[in-house]
Amino acid sequence: MTFLALTGDSGAPGGFPGFDSNVVGVGGTSLVLTSGNVRVTESAWSSGGGGISTVESKPVYQNTPGHGSVLSSLTKRGIPDVSFLADPNTGVVTYDPYNGGWFQIGGTSLSCPCMAGLVAIADQMRTAARHGTLDGVTQTLPGLYNLPGNDFLDITTGNNGYAAGAGYDLATGLGVPNANLFVTGLANYAVPEPSTLALLGIAGIGVIGVFGRKRLRSSQRG
């Protein structure tokens, strides 16, 4: 099983359990799209949690080389591991049938379940191929740090108290998943050759989870 935790909506430093080395810490971005849903810009969300733990030692998977100077300089656990859309000002519109009406939501309470959805799709692919679901500590977390760079969009602008930059950073982690490549890569992690998996016929993936409503007003971010 893979456990994921939001890193918080108060900027740096992030919060627990996002700092736990056994969970995937998910941060947030601000995303601007055209009317045709083409990405214009994506940057670190200023309120997305991130930073360096004062307690947790640097986990082995964060010793993976090739992710830039920030990661190599850490001696304690750094978060986030990855990020997804979280800024309520550029968030997701959802309908509330109980209270009635449309609401624009955000926060890392949005980004974390979206990321969990991608992990669930990877698990579904593995199960269909008769491989076990991903174990978070021994597969998902090291898998993230061993995926090819093209599996992520590297976020290099924005600031949450730490500046985003090339490679791993304490604002957005490894970056934002390029969903089709990311899911395939994660599904194939630690699968013996030649029993690899293929992601077929997926033009786009949209997974939305809501853990607490986040309205547009900044006073209601949580």
Q: What does the pLDDT look like over 127-152, one tens digit per residue?
A: 998 888 999 999 999 999 999 999 99
Q: What does the pLDDT look like over 80-111, one tens digit per residue?
A: 999 999 999 988 888 989 888 998 889 999 99
Q: What does the pLDDT look like over 64-81, one tens digit per residue?
A: 988 999 999 999 999 999
What topology is assigned to 4-220 in CATH? Rossmann fold (3.40.50)
R_g over Cα of the chain: 17
pLDDT at 193: 65
- For the cut 60, the answer to whether the pLDDT of residue 222 exceeds it is no
pTM of the model: 0.83
Q: For 172-200, b where at least 16 C-beta lie within 10 A, e where not — what string?
A: bbbbbbbbeebbbbbbbbebeeeeebebe
Q: What percent of the chain has pLDDT over 70?
A: 86
Single-letter code of the amino acid located at 147 = L
Task: Write the DSSP symbol of residue 146.
Answer: H
pLDDT at 33: 87
Q: Hey, where are the domains in the chain?
A: 4-220
Q: What does the pLDDT look like over 8-41, one tens digit per residue?
A: 999 999 999 999 999 999 999 999 988 888 889 9
